[in-house]
C-alpha cells in the first residue's frame, strides 16, 4: 500500500447484556492461552461500519464469550462472559484491494491487530478484536483476531455466521457454550484411546533450541501462499487416489502434494512426521454449535520415496478411522493432568518440532467462511495472517471467491525462495494445465503462487 493507514474511528462494541456465565477453560485451552489467531476477509465494495458494529453487538449476545475476559482463580483459567466488549477500529489506505491481498501475510501489513494473548490471559485485554480498512478503490478489508483459549476456527466461524445473519436481518444460528470443557470430554470420551498423547515435555537442551527457533522466527522464516484451482486439484485427486487405491479428498490431495513437493525442493529424503489437526465434534457426536477448542490430531510418518499418493491415501484412511486409531483426547487429559496446570508452560505439542522439520498442516476448508454475507457482499478472499512465522506450519482454505484451495505455509527463507523460483513454481503447479480457468484476482495478486 502506498501510505500508512489513516485512523478514522475507534469504538468498543458490546452486546448490552452481560450474562455473567463463567466458563472453566480445559487443560488444552490453557495450553493455548498464550496464542491468538488472526484472519482477514476482503470485500470488493465498502461496508457500512455502523451496520457492522450493530450486527456484531447482536452476534455477541449469541456468543458472549468473545466479548468477555479471562481470569485465573485457584490456578484455573476461566472465561467470564461479562460483556467487557470488543475493540473495533477503522482505517483508510490509498492502496487498492489487490495490493492489500498481496500483503496479507507480510510483516507489518497492518490488516489486523493481533490480539495480545498474554495480556488477555491476565484479564488486561479483550478476547476478540476487529479492524476495518477501506481501500482507495472502494474495497473493505475486515481483520479479526481472537484468543485461542476461547475457541478454535469452528468457534470463530459460528461467530462470523451469527454476525453475518445479524447484519442481513436473518435468524441467528445456534451457539452453545461449554461451562467445563474437561468435564464435557470426560463424559463423552471412551475410557481408552490410542494411548499416545499429543504433547511432550522437551529436555533442557531441546527447550533451548525451541526457544531460539521462536526468537529467530521473523528473521529466519518466510510465509508463502499457493493457489490450486479446482481442475488442478481434480487431477491430483485422480492420480493420488489411483496410486493409493482409495478415493481421496481435495484436502488430502493438496496436503500430500504440498508436503511432498516442499520436501522434494528441499532435497529432503528422510522419513519425517506430519501432524494434521482434527475437529473432533463430529467423531465424538458433539454438536457443531459448541464453542471451544475441540481439537484432536493425526500423526503420520512420510517418506518422500513413497510418493504423494501414498501420503494422500494414508491421510484419508487416518481421517476415516480417526475415532478408532488416532483419537487421543483421553490420553491428552491424563498427560496434562499428571503435569499439573503449573507444569503446562514446559509442555509443547508434538506438532511443534522444527528441528526434525515436522509439518503441521491444518485444513480450514468447509467451514463456510465464504458464506458470510455483509450487506449482500460475500468475501472475495480469505486468509490467515500467520501472526508469528514458526517454520513448517501450514493452513489450507478455499481460495478466491471460494474456489480451489489456498495454502499458506511458513518455511525457512532459503526454501521459500526456491518455492518462488521458476523451478519451484513448475513443481508446485505440475498438475495445472494452460487451459485451466483461473480466478481473475489471482493475476492481480502476484505474490500468491
List, as one string, the DSSP characters of 22-74: EEE--HHHHHTTT-EEEEEEEESS---HHHHHHHHHHHHHHSGGGG-EEEEET
Q: What is the mean pLDDT of residues 136-161?
A: 97
User: Does this chain's domain 6-185 share its CATH topology with 220-444?
Assistant: yes
Average pLDDT over residues 34-47: 96
Residue 3 pLDDT grade (very low, low, confident, very high; cuts 50, 70, 90): low
Read off φ and ψ for residue 383, nearest 5 degrees. -155, 145
pLDDT at residue 330 greater than cutoff 60: yes
Distance CA 163, CA 331 (A): 36
Least confident of 27-31, 130-134, 314-318: 27-31
pLDDT value of residue 388:
78
pLDDT, tens digit (0-9, with 9 covering 90-100), for 400-425: 999 999 999 999 999 999 999 999 99
- Cβ-proximal residues to 108 (8 Å cutoff; 6+ apart), any chain: none
Tally the C-alpha atoms within 13 A of residue 164's C-alpha that lie toward its C-beta: 20
Q: What is the mean pLDDT of residues 349-353?
A: 94
pLDDT single digits (tens) 262-304: 999 999 999 999 999 999 999 999 999 999 999 999 999 999 9
Q: Which of 96-105, 271-280, 336-345, 369-378 has the lowest mean pLDDT?
A: 336-345
Residue 120, SS3 per DSSP: helix
Q: What percent of the chain has pLDDT over 90?
A: 92
pLDDT tops 80 at residue 181: yes
- Contacts of residue 218, defined as CB under 8 A and 6 or more positions apart, other chains included, come to 107, 388, 389
What pLDDT shows up at residue 344? 87
Contact indicator for 191, 334 with CB cutoff of 8 Å:
no
pLDDT at residue 184 tops 60: yes
CA 272/CA 345 separation, integer angstroms = 26
Mean pLDDT of 190-212: 93
Cell digits of residue 225: 501462499
Q: What is the number of alpha carbons within 13 Å of residue 361 lying toward its C-beta?
A: 25
Q: Map residue 320 onto helix, strand or coil.
A: helix
Averaged pLDDT of the chain: 95
DSSP string of 146-180, one letter each residue: EEGGG--HHHHHHHHHHHHHHHHT-PPPP-B--SB
Q: Is the pLDDT of residue 2 over 50?
A: no
CA 101 to CA 96: how far, in whole Å?
9
* HSE-CB for 107 with a 13 A CA cutoff: 9
Judge whether residue 426 has pLDDT over 90: yes
**CA-based angle 261:420:209, to the nearest 5?**
70
Q: Which residues contact 43 (CB under 8 A, 6 or more apart)?
A: 139, 140, 141, 142, 374, 377, 378, 379, 380
Q: What percent of the chain has pLDDT over 70?
A: 99
Contact 349, 198 (CB under 8 A): yes
Alpha-carbon distance 272 to 414, whole Å?
20
The pTM for the full model equals 0.96
Q: What is the phi/psi pair of residue 110, to 5°?
A: 60, 40
Given this model, what pLDDT does residue 109 score? 84
Residue 1 pLDDT more than 60? Answer: no
Asked if residue 34 lies in contact with residue 25, where contact means CB atoms within 8 angstroms, the answer is no
Task: Give me the residue spans of the domains in the chain.
Answer: 6-185, 220-444
List phi, psi (to 5°) of 234: -60, -40
DSSP SS3 for 382:
strand
Q: Specify whether the CB–CB gap between 24 and 78 falls below 8 A.
A: yes
What is the C-alpha to C-alpha distance for residues 287 and 177, in angstroms, rounded to an integer?
Answer: 11
Question: Does domain 6-185 fall into CATH 3.40.630.40?
Answer: no
CATH class of 220-444: alpha beta
Amino acid at each position: 500500500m502506498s501510505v500508512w493507514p489513516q485512523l478514522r474511528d475507534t469504538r468498543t462494541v458490546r452486546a448490552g447484556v452481560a450474562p455473567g456465565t463463567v466458563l472453566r477453560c480445559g487443560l488444552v485451552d490453557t495450553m493455548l492461552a498464550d496464542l491468538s489467531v488472526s484472519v482477514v476477509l476482503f470485500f470488493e465494495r465498502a461496508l457500512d461500519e455502523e451496520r457492522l458494529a450493530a450486527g456484531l453487538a447482536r452476534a455477541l449476545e449469541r456468543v458472549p464469550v468473545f466479548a468477555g475476559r479471562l481470569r485465573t482463580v485457584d490456578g484455573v483459567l476461566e472465561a467470564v462472559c461479562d460483556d467487557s466488549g470488543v475493540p473495533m477500529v477503522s482505517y483508510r489506505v490509498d492502496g487498492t484491494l489487490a495490493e492489500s491481498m498481496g500483503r496479507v501475510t507480510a510483516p507489518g501489513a497492518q490488516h489486523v491487530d493481533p490480539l495480545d494473548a498474554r495480556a488477555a490471559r491476565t484479564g488486561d485485554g479483550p478476547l476478540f478484536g476487529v479492524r476495518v480498512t477501506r481501500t482507495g478503490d472502494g474495497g473493505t478489508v475486515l481483520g479479526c483476531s481472537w484468543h485461542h483459549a476461547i475457541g478454535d476456527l469452528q468457534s470463530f466461524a459460528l461467530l462470523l455466521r451469527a454476525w453475518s445473519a445479524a447484519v442481513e436481518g436473518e435468524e441467528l444460528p445456534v451457539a452453545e457454550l461449554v461451562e467445563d470443557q474437561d468435564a464435557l470430554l470426560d463424559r463423552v470420551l471412551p475410557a481408552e484411546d490410542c494411548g499416545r498423547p499429543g504433547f511432550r515435555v522437551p529436555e533442557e537442551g531441546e527447550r533451548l533450541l525451541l526457544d531460539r527457533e521462536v526468537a529467530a522466527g521473523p528473521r529466519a522464516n518466510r510465509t508463502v501462499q499457493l493457489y490450486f484451482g479446482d481442475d488442478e486439484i481434480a487431477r491430483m485427486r485422480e492420480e493420488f487416489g489411483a496410486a493409493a487405491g482409495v478415493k481421496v479428498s481435495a484436502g488430502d490431495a493438496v496436503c500430500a502434494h504440498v508436503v511432498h513437493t516442499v520436501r522434494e525442493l528441499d532435497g529432503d529424503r528422510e522419513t519425517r512426521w506430519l501432524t494434521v489437526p482434527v475437529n473432533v465434534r463430529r467423531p465424538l457426536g458433539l454438536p457443531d454449535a459448541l464453542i471451544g477448542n475441540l481439537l484432536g490430531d493425526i500423526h503420520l510418518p512420510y517418506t518422500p520415496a513413497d510418493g504423494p499418493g501414498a501420503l494422500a491415501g494414508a491421510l484419508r484412511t487416518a481421517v476415516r478411522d480417526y475415532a478408532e486409531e488416532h483419537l487421543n483426547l483421553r490420553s491428552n487429559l491424563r498427560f496434562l493432568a499428571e503435569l499439573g496446570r503449573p507444569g503446562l508452560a514446559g509442555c509443547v505439542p508434538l506438532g511443534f518440532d522444527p528441528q526434525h522439520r515436522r509439518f503441521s498442516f491444518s485444513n480450514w476448508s468447509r467451514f463456510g467462511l465464504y458464506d458470510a454475507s455483509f450487506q449482500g457482499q460475500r468475501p472475495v478472499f480469505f486468509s490467515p495472517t500467520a501472526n508469528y512465522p514458526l517454520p513448517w506450519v501450514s493452513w489450507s482454505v478455499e481460495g478466491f471467491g471460494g474456489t480451489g484451495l489456498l495454502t499458506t505455509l511458513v518455511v525457512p527463507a532459503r526454501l521459500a525462495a526456491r518455492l518462488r523460483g521458476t523451478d519451484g513454481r513448475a513443481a508446485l503447479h505440475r498438475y495445472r494445465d494452460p487451459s485451466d480457468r483461473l480466478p481473475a484476482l489471482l493475476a492481480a495478486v502476484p505474490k500468491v503462487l
